[in-house]
Chain A
Amino acid sequence: MNPAVTFPQPSRRVLPGFGLSLGFTLTYLSIIVLIPLAAAFLKTAGMSWGEFVAAVASPRVLASYRLSFLASMAAGLVDVFFGLIVAWVLVRYSFPGRRIIDALVDLPFALPTAVAGIALTTIYAKHGWVGRWLEPHGIKVAFTEIGVFVALTFIGLPFVVRTLQPVLMELEPEIEEAAASLGASRWKTLTRVILPELTPALLTGFALAFARALGEYGSVVFISGNMPMRTEIVPLLIITKLEQYDYRGATAIAVVMLVASFLMLLLINLLQKWSRRYHRV
């Protein structure tokens, strides 16, 4: 993004500290992340294929994948839609309280998930501030799939807004002005010029919100109601297996989730690489 790289890329020889920094990085990464994660994989390695499939593909587990996946997907999409509006408004307009809103966007990130879960349940339950207006219309949020979706939307919002903000700031107004002077309508400028520029960031934001939502536990268990086959999320099933001293079954599901998160992250990194290349052209 910074076009000022005029020097040739420094070779390993010129700057010092390669061995030290990489060595430390790898050691620390191994101790904190890789070795513990390996424990999960080795635990499941002791299972036969049949046992593994039975643990990760029973109807209840499948139902929880479905819920976790769909609710995270829906939450990610809603976050993208509203996140775009919020980011746009924060970057382009000025209005009283803009800074406060800007700061608030990070709240879901900093607030402990259990507190978020309890607070959301308090608001959306039958007699809560919002629940009391929705319930008479037959809309139940707390203890349903919608509740899971609400919690995950809350969790994911900052990721979308914070991905979009810098890209929006970077957009050169000249391009828009040029498009406008060439006679393009505002709408056309928006869809033909601005949105394509934003697409990589939107995708990255979505992927981040989605990945985070898949693993979320603390805020969801309070609001979901935990009904088997209906509102059980995947991490809850891991806990359920543990409660029955089924360590292997629990780690088997954990391994499935780990692989899924790893693939999501790989995708995000590819997206970012792509967007970097895209920007350079």
Chain B
Amino acid sequence: MKSKNFLLPLLGLALAAASPARTVELLNVSYDPTRELYADFNKAFGAYWKAKTGDTVVVKQSHGGYGKQARSVIDGLPADVVTLALAADIDALSANAKLIPPDWQKRLPQNSTPYTSTIVFLVRKGNPKGIKDWDDLAKPGVSVITPNPKTSGGARWNYLAAWAYAKHRQGGDAAAKKFINALYKNVPVLDSGARGSTTTFVQREIGDVAISWENEAFFVLKEFGSDHYEIVVPSLSILTEPPVTVVDKVVRKKGTAEVARAYLEYLYSEEGQDIVGRNFYRPRSPAAVAKYAKVFPQLELVTIDSEFGGWARAQQTHFADGGIFDEIYTKK
């Protein structure tokens, strides 16, 4: 019995080595605005992995609203890797389903966030309302488009960026609360997701300014033409850190641990970082940062950890039922 158990893996290895055309399938569960990035990256990784091991990797993608995606994984969607918009959603995989260890964020460099972005403004050509910074968004008569932070993870970053600005430039949390109130009074439509918001601004032509992730704003310029829209960079914003992780329980069962880890690690490689930059996310590696320095403007960036004490705290204070965001709409 014992010897048999010992021999089996060896046999497996021998077989794997003998059959060169093995096909591995990975499922990457991600959120809406990473479609273009991962469409690009999956091709590159496929080529790299083929060259390295001879195996063919087929990466299947699932995109959707942020919370919905994490929830699907919790409920059994067999994701090998998740690449989501905020750490809170991945924390939920650990807290609600024990799919990954609680310290997952320490497993990859830079808190498991191989790329970052920030929150900027998208305005119509010529910037007719003269929007320069966050305080212009709270002025009367300006119509602001941003998704609903209750249903959209991206929208939570938008909200926190606005909060951080007011806290720093207008003096403390009380001022921030007032500012946030005034800002959301200017929002005519709260779409359920970030892409929905962009559609409202771009295709329905509603609103003077859309609060948007930088990569999404660049994507709009590319897709709909820079002769229709402009990006306005505020003086202060938040560093958005979309994290990635391997889902341990799933890869252990599917036997894809090695390739899944390699997949995420490859995001940190020079080629991975170059693809990141090409798709308008801010890269981490110095070489790629230098290469795309002209694309991404410099601005003062705060982080979720230093400013809000991490996602769990921010979620509880601002976005949970009865939190500060709810007060905007329930208290008249």
Could you list which residues of chain A lie within 8 angstroms of chain B, going by C-beta atoms? 58-60, 121, 125-127, 142-143, 221, 225-229, 236, 239-240, 242-246, 249
Contact = CB atoms under 8 A, between A and B. Distances in A.
A225 B190 CA distance: 6
A143 B66 CA distance: 22
Interface residue SS majority, chain A:
loop
B192 interface: yes
Given A229-B330, A243-B150, A243-B151, A58 B321 contact: yes
B65 interface: yes
B324 to A, nearest CB: 13
A80 B71 CA distance: 40
B71 A242 contact: yes
Contact-residue bracket for chain B: 20 to 34
Interface of B: 65-68, 71, 74, 92, 96, 148, 150-151, 187-192, 200, 204-206, 319-322, 326, 329-330
Contacts of A244: 67, 150, 319-321
Nearest to B326: A60
Contacts of B92: 245
User: Chain B interface secondary structure, helix, strand, loop or mixed?
Assistant: loop
Contacts of B187: 227
Given A58-B322, A126-B204, A221-B192, 16 more contacts: A59-B330, A60-B330, A126-B205, A126-B206, A143-B200, A225-B188, A225-B190, A226-B151, A226-B191, A227-B188, A228-B330, A236-B192, A242-B71, A243-B65, A243-B150, A244-B320
Contacts, number: 72
B189 A239 contact: no
B71 A245 contact: yes
Contacts of B148: 226, 228, 240
Contacts of A225: 188-191
Given A59-B330, A226-B191, A226-B192, A242 B206 contact: no
A226 B66 CA distance: 17
Nearest to A55: B321
A142 B204 contact: yes
Nearest to B95: A245
A125 B67 contact: no
A125 B206 contact: yes
Contacts of B191: 225-226
B267 to A, nearest CB: 26
Contacts of B190: 225-228
A125 B74 CA distance: 37
A243 B151 CA distance: 6
Contacts of A121: 204
B326 A143 contact: no
B96 A245 contact: yes
A122 B1 CA distance: 68
